[in-house]
Amino acid sequence: MQNGKTAIVTGAGTGIGKSVATALLKNGWNTVFCGRRKDVLDAAVAEAGAAEAKALAVACDISVPDQVDRLFATVVETFGRVDLLFNNAGMGYKSTTIDEIPVEVWNDVVGVNLTGSFLCARAAFGAMRRQQPMGGRIINNGSVSAYAPRPGSVPYTATKHAITGLTKTLALDGRPFDIACGQIDIGNALTDMARPMTVGVPQANGTMAPEPVMDVQRVADAVVHMASLPLDANVLFMTVMATKMPYVGRG
């Protein structure tokens, strides 16, 4: 049990974010479920069930600076501090070559995946360096696409490569303030978004093929492990993936 520590999880209404937020709550973290749709967040909190720690649903579009500032102000006012940020919210786009990707789509994906992660990390870093006792942890949701792209995934893959740079820099800049930063790279966790993988997704050789998936609870367990370490230890990068997915050896 984390003795009243407070975590913020973005994109917590569904999928990976919901599973991680629920796992943190059940492991004793006061947990803020953050996302764009308040009704979905409220349902996620209700589904998580009773726990000794407290859950709070806060609607926020993480690509909007003022909304992110209000989110963190609300958390500090409610719980007194921020101990963990799981930068999870993200979006993708259908498999498309770059010349057919609308600029608006590029801007939307960058706005959520990269700018949103920057804004939340910025707010978390500021809160963590100024609170007493000082410090905290930021975990960024990367992807195996931070290392190896899927076909037709320019916006998503570019942002996930950028998240790796964000992680490394925060891990360096956080040292004087006892702020640890790590990244979890996830491959084929079975969520509603990933369900098409069980039917067939584009492969590097031009074919369509189903891919093995894993229970999303494995991701939640991994994030809880990363979060539970003392601040003098850090998992800088962790890859959690379906054992038989075509990642090592793509192409």
CATH number of the domain where residue 211 is located:
3.40.50.720
Model confidence over 215-233: pLDDT tens digits? Answer: 999 999 999 999 999 999 9
Listed in order, strand segments (DSSP E) in the chain are 6-10, 30-35, 55-59, 84-87, 136-141, 179-187, 189-190, 201-202, 208-209, 214-215, 237-241
Identify whether 156 is a catalytic site residue.
Answer: yes
Model confidence over 181-212: pLDDT tens digits? Answer: 999 999 999 888 778 888 888 888 888 888 88
| Domain membership flag for residue 21 | yes
Average pLDDT over residues 131-142: 97
| Domain membership flag for residue 74 | yes
| Domain membership flag for residue 148 | yes
Q: Give the domain extent around 176.
A: 6-241
| Domain membership flag for residue 145 | yes
| Domain membership flag for residue 250 | no
Would you state the pLDDT for residue 191? 87
Model confidence over 6-19: pLDDT tens digits? Answer: 999 999 999 999 99
| Domain membership flag for residue 236 | yes
Number of domains forming the structure of the chain: 1
| Domain membership flag for residue 1 | no
| Domain membership flag for residue 77 | yes
